[in-house]
A and B are shown apart, each in its own frame.
With several copies, the nearest count.
Chain A
Amino acid sequence: MRTSVRLFAVARQIAGCDRVELELPEHATIGDLRQQLGRDIPALSGLLGPMLFALDARYVNDASLVPPNAEIACIPPVSGG
């Protein structure tokens, strides 16, 4: 399935765009998505370890399933405040 991932801050900088489209198998997890993202954008792979992911604006862990048509966001370590 086709999944769109929003990118922010350093991830957006490195990818050169604020959204990337990944091809994932059915029943893929966030962990699978993390790996696919590293394969599709090799420059990102070294930075993905500490990144979190959000599904419909809520944090999820690597075991969570990626539903079709969900809004997925890649969240680098935050530095607001």
Chain B
Amino acid sequence: MMIELTHNPIDVARVLASAESRSAGAVVLFLGTTREESEGRRTASLDYECYPEMAESELSRLEKEARQRWSLIECSVVHRLGHLEIGEVSVAIAVSSAHRQPAFEAGQWIIDRIKHVVPIWKRENWADGESQWVHPGLETPPTTAGE
């Protein structure tokens, strides 16, 4: 089990290794990666910030709840913070189970819940120079660089 928030590039091999087990028949790894294009607009880079104490405790709660819902062997979640270039990994989730169904379902459930409840936010730094916090359901004003 590995629950982490990190300003360093995510060591995907390490996250994956943390889910390995001799009793596992299935490992599902999910990577969220920063895309060059978002709703037709070009992104140059992204910045992630969080409410640190709460983000970590919410990730731990999700891990515990996933283990209650499914029979899992290992379950690790690492989320990146700070400045990310295009193509970098923003989140890595690795889940193992005896059979494949729980690993797939839990992996999908965890990333869905992260996107709803974990206090982490991203700012798109658009290629045209504008930056903008992303808050689903809210129209947000552009920020000036470095704000």
Which residues of A are in contact with B by a Cβ distance under 8 Å? 6, 8-10, 13-14, 47, 50, 54, 57-59, 73, 75-81
Contact = CB atoms under 8 A, between A and B. Distances in A.
Given A9-B121, A10-B138, A76-B135, A81 B90 contact: yes
A79 B135 CA distance: 6
A57 B51 contact: yes
Contact of B118 (A8, A50, A73, A80): A80
Contact of A54 (B54, B91, B111, B133): B54
A78 B135 CA distance: 6
Interface residues of B, number: 33
Interface of B: 32, 48-51, 53-55, 57, 79, 90-91, 111, 114-123, 133-138, 140-141, 143, 147
Contacts of B54: 54, 57-58, 73, 75
A9 B135 CA distance: 9
